[in-house]
Every structure is written in structure tokens, then in C-alpha cells.
Amino acid sequence: MTYGENLWLFFTLLFGVIVVPGMDMIFVLANSLQQATGKPSVVERSPA
């Protein structure tokens, strides 16, 4: 593969390994902060 192809592969893997789990962590953090303030959460839970 050429240098350019390797570079695109690197950035694609970097996005998949770092950015996608980071977005999930941001969602979990925002959801927990909303529950701590008493606001309705992003994901509604059924009453147990």
C-alpha cells in the first residue's frame, strides 16, 4: 500500500478506537449528570 492509503487506514482505525467509545462515554456522563440534577434522563427507564 502507498503512504496515503496507510495514512487513511490509520485515521480510520484511530476514529474507531478513540472517538466512538469517547462519544459513548460523553452520553453516559451527560445522562448521569441529568439524573443527579433531577431532570428527566435521555433514556427513560421503566419503573421497577
pLDDT digits (tens, 9 = 90+) for 1-48: 899 999 999 999 999 999 888 899 999 998 888 877 776 655 666 665
pTM equals 0.52
Gap between the Cα atoms of 35 and 24, Å rounded: 17
What single-letter DSSP state applies at residue 35? H
